[in-house]
Amino acid sequence: MPAPRVQRTTTPKNHPDPTGLGFGKYFADHMATMEWVHDRGWLEPEIKPYGPIPMEPAAGVLHYGQAMFEGLKAFRGVDGVVRLFRADANARRMASGALRLCMPPPEPKLAEELCHALVAVDRDWVPAPAGTALYLRPTLVATEGFLGVRPSQRYLFFVFSSPVGAYYSNATGGLEPVKIKVELKMTRAAKGGIGAAKAAANYAASLYSAAEAKKQGYSQVLWMDAKDHAFVEEVGTMNLFAVINDELVTPPLSDSILAGVTRDSLMTLARDRGMKVIERPITREELESGKAKEVFGSGTAAVVSPVGELNFEGKKVVINDGAQGPVAKGLYEELTNIQRGAKPDTHGWLKEVK
């Protein structure tokens, strides 16, 4: 990729205290943008000050929902060097999701390079303390103004970033087990649908259930399959893992489950540690009868989020006495140590931002 044109901000913002970042409250100074027009393809990318995106009221994204995003992180290593974690995997996932949503896939290498170029410009925004990162949000939306239902002929790909700490705000930086309501009526994604794409619509589909669960004192919901609610799919916005019979089990990828980069990383690290890792359907019955020694979610934002209690329509199943389990803790530490450069990156997941 030729180096993108960079227009630097003339009004840089103050950096927030890196020990109180929370998640997604602050935005770094710049964003990268690249337009796609049907008869020209992708136009030259640029990096410019973070700010509003002008859009027609008739823009396709606002009506027919052609929108998807990614989430990935840049870390400041213990050696001070800034590195991106598995940006190539996120870029590939965005390209395949874009096809499902009838959008032009940003070329993965180009998307990855644009993320690197953006972080190079906002390098100072990458926080240093353990448990923090610069979270990048590549996004693809339909921008053409029209009304007949069809794919848009104009798109905007943009990337902005946010210095973040723990996703769940609690004392242990996210490793505190959460209470989860098992959603046995509504569904997040169905067979044949768009659940495997990181489509904005999947998050819209999840909000009502999650809000109801929160009113009842739960952090999130456990999503089951759309047909019978018999098989476990995801937990909140995360992939799900369970430790059953000393094996690490996770539902196989399908068109209703997102192919998590953290999911893949944790499976690799667990295998490295000699654990048996199995992708197979997990039934409601297995979790309801208390067979799981541990249950946890995995995602870029929270990394690992242990589940301490599952509520099946009033029946409470406490997992590992409501405490953080050794597998979740071990994998969290292993992965975050690699991300911070405190442990060797034997899988080549980190790339230095030059």
Beta strands 220-224 and 178-183 are: parallel
| Cβ closest to ligand COI, residue 154 vs residue 239 | 239
Choice between 144 and 334, CB closer to ligand COI = 334
CB of 24 to ligand COI, least distance (A): 7
CB of 135 to ligand COI, least distance (A): 8
Nearest to 294 by CA among 217, 352, 242, 239: 242
- Closer residue to ligand COI, CB minimum distance, 37 or 95: 95
Query: Given CA atoms 115, 118, 123, 125 in this order, what sign does their dihedral have?
Result: negative
Shortest distance, position 80 Cβ to ligand COI, whole Å = 25
CB of 25 to ligand COI, least distance (A): 12
Residues that bind ligand COI (CB under 6 A): 71, 237-238, 299-302
Q: CB–CB of 81/352 below 8 Å?
A: yes
Q: Looking at beta carbons only, is 305 or 320 nearer to ligand COI?
A: 305
Residue written as token pair 């998050």: 203
The DSSP bridge partners found for residue 160 are 137
Gap between the Cα atoms of 264 and 84, Å rounded: 16
Q: How many CB atoms lie within 10 A of CB 172?
A: 12
Quick one: 264 or 288, whose CB is closer to ligand COI? 264
Nearest approach in angstroms of CB 171 to ligand COI is: 20
Q: Which is nearer to ligand COI, 238 or 319 (CB)?
A: 238
Report the helix count and the strand count for the chain, using DSSP H and E.
7, 19
Alpha helices, H only, the chain: 60-64, 87-100, 108-121, 200-215, 261-272, 284-288, 326-339
Widest Cα–Cα separation across the chain = 60
Closest CA to 174 of 73, 299, 57: 299
Minimal distance, residue 300 CB to ligand COI, in Å: 3
Contacts of 341 (CB under 8 A, 6+ apart): 75, 77, 78, 79, 81, 83, 350
Q: Smallest distance, Å, CB 244 to ligand COI?
A: 23
DSSP state, 11?
A: S
69: helix, strand or coil? strand
Residue, CB closest to ligand COI: 299
Residue nearer to ligand COI on the CB measure, 146 or 203: 203
Nearer of residues 96 and 283 to ligand COI, judged by Cβ: 96
Instruction: Tell me which DSSP letter residue 19 carries.
Output: T
Q: Shortest Cβ distance from residue 162 to ligand COI (Å)?
A: 10
